[in-house]
Each structure stands twice: as structure tokens, then as C-alpha cells.
Structure 1
Amino acid sequence: MDIFSQVFRRTKHVLPHVARFCLVSTFFEDGVRMYTQWSEQRDYMDMTWGCGYFLASLFVLLNLLGQLSGVFMVLFRLKVNYACFMLFGIVILQTVAYSILWDVTFLFRNLALLGALLLVLAESRSEGRSLFAGVPSMGDNKPKTYLQLTGRVLIIFMFATLLRLEFSVLQMLVNVIGSLLMVLVMIGFKTKLSALVLVAWLSVLNLYFNAWWNIPAYKPARDFVKYDFFQVLSVIGGLLMIVNLGPGGVSMDEHKKNW
């Protein structure tokens, strides 16, 4: 714990920037994809929904501009609340447009992504701001507390997609360690340490399972694996946000202070 405290103290100024950069990476990658694969994305939407080239092109343009502008606003801390709601809307729009509701793995990953965005929203809220002018604040910020709780719970969905009913040593290790760390982060016990270990654990799994750079550019699988890689990287950003912010008021770590 002493080593962890020293590492946190030395990195606390750069940690929020790294967390935000990782968190918005999937939106940046997907926004760029909308530009480089404009015709493919447009044709896919037209073929899937039969909405015509105009509406299909409008969908691609909305995703491109919405994601890239949201990324810019989050990174440079410009109207972060609006940026988060914009990206939140993009995630919901894509969930419906690409029929992700019927794919449990993609749905869970999108829920984890929404949780990461809620943590950015929590970070942007000022501490202890009173609802009434002139009334002293008691340091309680319930909206931020509930944002942290909801973000913490949703971000766990990412790890649920990594659990497999396989009897290989590697998969059983992933299941046991991942499940234990998921529970610790969800209930808010040793939260910063658990989240940091999850960052390391998920980074290793991401580099191992989603090494898109090893797949030739002409293969369609490259885009799918690349998409997974950046989605996981965004959740890593959310976990780093937990390390930076802490678990919030609704957690075992907070209640331990009253024991």
C-alpha cells in the first residue's frame, strides 16, 4: 500500500489527463473510421434499414462530427457536461442502429463505456456546490456520488464479457482474478488499488486478445479486433478515473471511515 500511495502521489497530476485520453480513444478511432470508410458505413446503414442514401449519409456525418467534437471537448475540458451527453447519445444511437441490443457482448461493452462516461461527468462536477445561493455547503455532492456509483457498477460489465466457461488454466485464471477484482471495485473496497490492478490486468488481456496490428489490413477481422481494442482502452480510462476520483460516498471504503 505504501508503494501504491507513492505511485499515486507522483502521478496524480498526470493521471486525469491519461484517463481522459484513454477514455475517449474509442470515440476518436470510430470517428476517424466514419471518415475513412464513409461509403462502406453509408451503404451498410442503407442496406440494413432501407433508409436511403441521404439518411444513411446523415447518420455517418452525425457520428463523425459528434464523436470527434466530443473527444476534443473532453480532452480540452470545454463544456465537458455537454460533451459527455453528446457521446452518451452517440453510444445509444449506435446501440440501436447496429442492433447491438441483441448481442450481449457488444451490449455489455457499451454499458461499460457509458459507465466510463459517467465517471468523466462526475469528475467535471464541482465539489460541495450548494443548491441555494448564500447557504454554506456541507461538502456533500450527492449527484457526483451517484454518478461515481453508477459508473463503477456499469464499468464492471466489460469484465463480464471476458468470462468464459472453459476449463483451460489461462481462462480459469482470468475468471477467478477478474471476478474477484470486479466485486471489489463494485462494492468499493480497496477501490483505488483494485481499479489499478484491473487496469494492469485488462491491459495485458487487451494486448493479448486484441492485437489488431498483427492482422493484415485487407482482412475484415482487423476492423472488428481494432474496435474491441479501443473499446477496452476506453474502459481502462474509466478505471483510471476511479483511481483518480476514488469510489465516492456509496462505498465500503467511505463507510470504513465511520467505523
Structure 2
Amino acid sequence: MNSNNAWLGKAEDFADQFLRLSKNYLPHIARLCLVSTFLEDGLRMWWQWTEQREYMDISWGCGYFIATLFVIINLVGQLGGVVMVLLRKRVEIACGILFSIVVLQTIAYQILWDVQFLFRNLALVGGLALVVAESKKEARSIFAGVPSLGENKPKTYLMLGGRILLVFMFLTLVRFEFSVMQLFQLVIGGMLMCLVAIGFRTKLSSFMLVLWLTLFNIYMNAFWTIPAYKPMRDFLKYDFFQTMSVIGGLLMLVSLGPGGVSMDEHKKQW
């Protein structure tokens, strides 16, 4: 038991040292990873303009004008929201726009009845909640050096919701196949995500998941190795950027901490 505690202590010290060294640019990387799904999808609307418009027209029989309007809203809304988040301009409005895009796509692509895609969209909402929580932290930190007394309730609940919804995103990455890799992912990754959800040793758990998911993503979702004409390339690209959003959410937790409603926060009061 003592050896385990010593190892955990050293691991947490390493994570804290990493945070101190990267605190100036880690939030920027986290935000970029979090919105990478929206960035990729917005660019895809531009690159596959005709295909997307025809798909909507055929699926809904809505006509040329409505189908074109759908593509324009997705393109402008996602790229505009991403730019606002990255520049930290009107972050709450930007996240509201991106949230509206998630709802619109859930209805338009009939995702509501597909559990896997629905979970991914719920998790994207969780990522947006973490982005809003970060902006609230900056807005409320008026007096340097004055500790928070827990009065920022919106930020606290946004952090809690973001942590829990990240679990949904992780579940979509799990493939229930009988292989050593999938078993390792299910057991180890699931355990770490549970720790993140309840907010126990959150920064260390998030940091370990970032390292593992980065390696996993590069190995399993290497879409750049697939020729452009093969449909598998698009599937792998989608999974790649979804995983990047997971990584972005975890990096945000490494940077911000778990928030007020967490085991880590309650341990301070024991």
C-alpha cells in the first residue's frame, strides 16, 4: 500500500510539474483539440459541398434551397464558432452556436435513434461546457491572489457536466471485440474515465488518459495512410477527430482541475 501511494505521489508530482511548465499554452492546445471536430466538419462542408447538399435533399426531400441553406449554416456556424473559441471572443455565444449545430445535425442526420452517434454528440456538448467553464473562470478572477469561496456555481456545474459527458465520448471509442488491445482499452481506459467522472486524482487520471489516447489515436485511426478514394478513410478521420475532442476535454481538466463537485475538492475539507 505504501509503495502504491509513493508511486501515485511521484506520478502526481510529475503531472504537476508538467502543468507548471505548460500552463501558458496548455489551455490553447486544449481548446484547439476540443473544437477540432467542428473544424474538420466545417471544412468538410466546404470540400464536399455538392455531396452534402444532395444528401440532405435526397434524405428529407426538402428541395435545393433548404438543402443549400443547411450546408451554409453548418459551414459558417462551425467555422465561425471555432474561430471565436480559439480567439476567446464571446466564448459563450460561440459555444451556443456550436451547440445549436450539434442539435441541428442530431435532427437532420437522424442521430437521435443511433446510440453511438448520439453519445458522441452528447460528449461534444460536454466539451463545450468545459470551454464555457474556462471562460467563466477568467471572467470571475478579478482580484489576483484571492481564492475562490465556491460562489461560482455556474462554473462548478459546467465542470461537473463536462466531466460526466466526456465519459459518453469515451464509450463511443470502445469496441466490444475479443482482443488484447480492446480488453486493455476497456479495463484500463474505463477505470481512468471513472476516476475522471467522479473527480478523484483528476489531473493525474486525465494526464494518463491523454498520453494513452494520443498513442491509441495515432495507431488505430491513421486515416492518412488510407487512399482518399476509399470510404474507410472518412470513417477513420471521423474517429480521429472525435478522439482529439476527448483529448482536448482531458487537457482542459488537467489545466482547470475537476471543479467544486468532485472527490478531489472534498478531500481538501477532510
TM-score by length of 2: 0.90
* Sequence identity percentage: 67
Contact (CA 8 Å) 2:150, 2:260: kept in 1 or not? no
Q: Indicate whether 1:24 and 2:35 are aligned.
A: yes
Match of 1:120 in 2: 131
Larger deviation, residues 74-83 vs 98-107: 98-107
In structure 2, what residue type is equivalent to 1:251? Answer: S
Unmatched segments (≥5 aa) in structure 2 = 1-11, 142-147
Q: Quote the Cα distance in structure 2 between the aligned partners of 1:126 and 1:79.
A: 14
In structure 2, what residue type is equivalent to 1:68? Answer: L
Alpha-carbon deviations, 1:45-92, whole Å to 9, x = none?
A: 000000001000000000000001001100001100000010011111
Alpha-carbon deviations, 1:121-170, whole Å to 9, x = none?
A: 0001146959xxxxxx8452010000000000001112212334333222
Pairing 1:231-250 to 2, within 5 Å after superposition: 231-250=242-261
In the alignment, which of 48, 52, 73 is matched to residue 37 of structure 1? Answer: 48
Alpha-carbon deviations, 1:81-107, whole Å to 9, x = none?
A: 000010011111111111111222111
Q: Indicate whether 1:12 and 2:19 are aligned.
A: no
Unmatched segments (≥5 aa) in structure 1 = 131-136
Q: Indicate whether 1:89 and 2:103 are aligned.
A: no
Q: Indicate whether 1:255 and 2:266 are aligned.
A: yes
Match of 1:219 in 2: 230
Q: Quote the Cα distance in structure 1 between the aligned partners of 2:138 and 2:225.
A: 45
Pairing 1:133-212 to 2, within 5 Å after superposition: 138-212=149-223
Pairing 1:53-64 to 2, within 5 Å after superposition: 53-64=64-75
Larger deviation, residues 149-158 vs 138-147: 138-147
Q: Quote the Cα distance in structure 2 between the aligned partners of 1:59 and 1:198.
A: 36
TM-score by length of 1: 0.93
Alpha-carbon spacing, 1:138–1:128, altered in 2? closer, same or farther (3 Å): farther
* Paired positions, count: 253
Q: Quote the Cα distance in structure 1 between the aligned partners of 2:150 and 2:125.
A: 26
Contact (CA 8 Å) 1:35, 1:64: kept in 2 or not? yes
Contact (CA 8 Å) 1:127, 1:141: kept in 2 or not? no
Match of 2:7 in 1: none
Find the residue that maps to 2:173 and give its secondary structure: coil
In structure 1, what residue type is equivalent to 2:72? Answer: L
Larger deviation, residues 201-210 vs 27-36: 201-210
The structure in which a higher percent of residues are helix is 2
CA RMSD, aligned part only?
Answer: 1.6
Task: For residue 108 of structure 1, report the CA deviation from its aligned partner.
Answer: 1.2
Larger deviation, residues 58-67 vs 86-95: 86-95
